[in-house]
Homo-oligomer: A and B are copies of this chain.
Amino acid sequence: MKVLLEEEVLTDNNLSAKFNRDLFQTSKTLVINLMSSPGAGKTTLLEKTVAALGEEFRIGVIEGDLATEKDADRIRALGAKAVQINTNGGCHLDARMVAKVLPEFDFEEIDLLFIENVGNLVCPSGYDLGQHHKVAVLSVPEGNDKIPKYPVMFRRTEMVILNKVDLLPYLDFDVQMAIEDLKGINPESKLLQVSARTEDGLDEWFAWIRAAYKQIEAQ
């Protein structure tokens, strides 16, 4: 019965994900689903992205959190449109929650939509939101064992942003080991080394976004 219910929930989710995907495709909006543990730095990465690319692209953000509007407020302070979803205890966003808030955006006026998922390295990985790309943020202080210990997340994301590399001198994190662990679990995945705080490495992230946007435009 539990299994049946889960299948039902995922079938429902896939219907909403298809609805979202069709809308994103029609409006040629690049959509990125950003996932990580709590505190890995998703919102800081988005703040820096909005600040750097805000003139080049029209950016919208959906913020997923159990509670508070804190993250949406941080994005709004930079002048981008941000809609907060509060899951009231739920450990991930699903496609229907996203579909419900899409009417708050004018998709003719948006080039990039970032969906910042609930801080959780487990639950969000199973839910297709209709995005073009799934990106996981892993931060140096979380330690080297996270890729093998949370394989589902890293198997299902096509890029890992290794954040907080400015803390490498103070911690025992082995970047080469992370690269190899990721290769073992997901050979297609790419790992970018950045510090959203000091802005080190962000140019490569911005270049990746530009290339992904061009692909969407060309379709």
Which residues of A line the B interface, CB within 8 A? 1-2, 5, 9, 37-39, 65-68, 70-71, 89-91, 118-123, 139, 141-143, 145-146, 148-152, 164, 166-167, 170
17 residue pairs bridging A and B, Cβ less than 8 Å apart? A37-B37, A38-B142, A39-B139, A39-B143, A66-B151, A66-B152, A67-B151, A70-B145, A71-B149, A89-B152, A90-B122, A118-B122, A119-B121, A119-B149, A120-B120, A122-B123, A141-B167
- A37: chain B residues at CB < 8 Å are 37-39, 119, 121, 142
Residue of A70, A119, A164 most packed against chain B (CB within 10 A): A119
Flag if B148 contacts A68 (CB, 8 Å): yes
Q: Which residues of B contact A141 (CB under 8 A)?
A: 39, 139, 141, 164, 167
